[in-house]
Amino acid sequence: MKRNKVTRQKELKETIEAAPFITDEELAKRFGVSIQTIRLDRMELSIPELRERIKSVARNEWNETVKALPIEEVIGEVVDLELDRRAISIMDIGMEHVFSRNAIARGHHLFAQANSLAVAVINDELALTAKAEIHFTRQVVKGERVVAKARVTGNDNKGRTVVEVISYVGMEQVFSGSFEMYRSNEEKELER
């Protein structure tokens, strides 16, 4: 069933607020309209294009720096970071990430994005993955954008920091992982 323009624009605004890294192509599929219609709706609603939304999130919310590894070693582009709390990165799946015969992303790239984000969120000079439990929910293909969201959930019974990472393509979950992170100040954390 087609939505009228007012309803579509209201839902479009809500969708972008919930998932600011969603592409115009994904929005067009979701609402059953052309990409041009989505662009016109965004212009009428004064919603910037994706690149500007990403820059805005990074400028307004990201005021900390990664300590555990150089930022260029994080797989994907970190767009939000609050040390020892949460982080977000995005990765566009290109030819270098996929199997040549079927254009499906290699799993180690999705894992690397999530694992490096789990390391990046740790507020310590040294953070290493001690254990990881991961699940791939669906295949990711060339051209899709993967948004990984990391959240520090606490400590395990060994005092290691636990980081949950969930990766999405649009609003659909494609990967989840629970990472136990060793940190060099682990003993100090236990004393608190």
Residues 86 and 160 in one domain: yes
Query: For 68-124, what is each residue's pLDDT tens digit?
Result: 666 677 888 888 888 899 999 999 999 999 999 999 999 999 999 999 999 999 988
Same domain, 138 and 162: yes
| Same domain for 80 and 31 | no
Q: What is the mean pLDDT of residues 157-170?
A: 90
Same domain assignment for residues 159 and 108: yes
Range of the domain at 10: 5-54
pTM of the model: 0.68
Q: Do 138 and 87 sit in the same domain of this protein? A: yes
Place of tokens 């009228």: 4
Same domain, residue pair 74 and 108: yes
Q: What Cα–Cα distance (Å) separates residue 97 from each residue in 69, 70, 133, 140, 165?
A: 22, 21, 22, 10, 20
- Pair 71, 40 in one domain: no
Say whether both 80 and 138 belong to one domain: yes
> Among candidates 149, 14, 17, 129, which has minimal Cα distance to 89?
149
